[in-house]
Amino acid sequence: MHQYKGKLIVHTGSMFSGKTSSLEKDVKRFNIAKYKTIAFKPAIDSRYRRSEIVTHDLTSMNAILVKDIHELIEYCNELKPDVIAIDEVQFLGGEVEDIIRGINELLEKDFTIIVAGLDMDFTGTPFETVKELMPIADYLYKHHAVCVKCGSDGWVSHRKSKDQERIKIGASDEYEPLCRKCFLEENKNLND
């Protein structure tokens, strides 16, 4: 597993696509290989349990809540892990440039970083942090959920309500995965 030293692993896609499950699987592999791992999640993520990363199928692992990249770096400097996992990276507080700079600084110090995050919001607009992390990733995995309308690969996390605020934390009560075709059809029906 030493080939991952100083590498960035990105898991992205829509909700319900297995991003967090893949992050958790990666962390377990590093733990088996005797690496010191620490998982973080943004303080804004209030779903499930506050001090754990929980997948939609309810598996979990301990996590430290952080408000921004600066707080995350402070923990890393203090606790000195080998591997850093960040779930829901798109919700990490701070300016996108600061987040990217901070992650690059950690990579230069030979930390292995695994992130999971949504590539797009409910309108199909890319989340800036994930958009900037994708090209600098050493390993990039685009995950797909199953479209609830037709069974094709899910492309976006469609919000079920008409609420238009960009950040609204939720799960299957608020969102459903749709393929591009069903998403465009759904939006056409909303606008008619």
Active site positions, annotated:
88
Contacts of 56 (CB under 8 A, 6+ apart): 15, 16, 20, 171, 172
Do 156 and 14 meet the contact criterion of CB atoms below 8 Å apart?
A: yes
